[in-house]
Amino acid sequence: MSTVEGRFRLGVLALDGVMLSNIAAASDTLRVAQTLATIRSPNTALRLETVVFGARGQESIRTSSGLTLGGLSAPPDDLDMVLVPGILHSSAHDLVERIRAMQPEIALLRELQLRGVRISATCSGTLLLAESGLLDGRRATCSWWLAASFRDHYPAVRLEADAMVVDDGDILTAGGASSVQPLLLKLIGRAGGDELAQQTARMLLIDAKRQSQAPYVSEAMIQKPRNSLSEKAEKFLMHQLHEEISVSQLAEYCGTSERSLLRHFRSHLGVTPQAHIQHLRVERAKALLESTHLSFDEIVERCGYSDSASFRKLFKRATAITPGDYRQRYALRPH
């Protein structure tokens, strides 16, 4: 990332309904990093700056909390990177409808990229980038619960839904709202060095080692496209998850061919039927680890596996932590 005389200027795109925490995190994290850099070297040439600007000539916006944020700038000419923050929404459908109405913002993002400004987004802001077409053929992530809807609406994007931050050169994307912080640490590291990024993480108690959203995923909260075949398949799988399940059985229950079923799963969920079955089994194991005192062997059996060792490997591959660590971190405890 190039800077001008040690300066890095981040522009935050102001959107109506924005989550104020995203704007505050960007401003505060860079300000803390600047303070630490100055303490370390009083004559440092490094200048980490944040500016909040709108695409419609507006002087203020209304945030998701109802507070009005004023003092917006016009789009600056000297940005190094723009950040598209997340907006609060009631459903994936509501979000897509709202971002499709953000044509001035989309036009500005395209213009900024043509000028060589790097683009970043976090949480639902990634969908605005996808709507603009800037992510076509690119790698990206978004908030995990929007992944299925994202794939349905923007199949040209190579979505890596488990990733906390995806760096695809001149475009960076982050997952859920708080994952803007590891994204910001990456930017601080590029502008001021890894040591400054590490010091900032320690000062703000940010876990810089978090690389995956997988441990936080809750299947029940994922916004899925409504489709009769998907719903029929899901109903069968949830009832038979403790048994061995073949793709041919699933296709027969759904009244379709294995080839059509495979095509449907790849189109709507981005995975094969077998991979989805494994995903559901991991989700059941997570729920049982959270809410019961069953042994891991008993949980494995209820998830349709007979080999605890292989299921343990599957669980760790899917969640990035072991079943024991997951239970210790997320088990429901009495008050």
Q: Report pLDDT digits (tens) over 3-14.
A: 444 899 999 999
How far, in Å, are 27, 71, 147, 160 from residue 163 at the CA level?
24, 34, 11, 6
pLDDT for residue 222: 56
pLDDT digits over 196-250, tens only?
999 999 999 888 777 777 666 655 545 555 567 888 888 899 888 888 899 999 9
pLDDT for residue 44: 94
Return the residue matching tokens 């600056």: 76
Q: Is it the case that residue 277 has pLDDT exceeding 80?
A: yes
Mean pLDDT of the 138-163 span: 90
Q: Is it the case that residue 61 has pLDDT exceeding 50?
A: yes
How far apart are the C-alpha atoms of 20 and 38, rounded to whole Å?
Answer: 27
Q: Which of 81-85, 170-174, 298-302, 318-322 has the lowest mean pLDDT?
A: 318-322
What class, spelled out in words, does domain 7-216 have in CATH?
Answer: alpha beta
Cα 288 versus chain centre, distance? 25
Look up the pTM and report it.
Answer: 0.70
How far apart are the C-alpha atoms of 54 and 294, rounded to whole Å?
Answer: 53
Please give the backbone phi and psi of residue 122, each rounded to the nearest 5 degrees, phi first: -135, 150
Mean pLDDT of the chain: 89
Q: Is it the case that residue 63 has pLDDT exceeding 90?
A: yes
DSSP H stretches of helix in 118-246: 125-132, 147-153, 180-192, 194-204, 228-240
pLDDT for residue 3: 47
pLDDT band at 92 (very low <50, low <70, confident <90, very high): confident
> Could you state, in order of their start, the residue ranges of all structural domains in the chain?
7-216, 226-330
CATH number of 226-330: 1.10.10.60
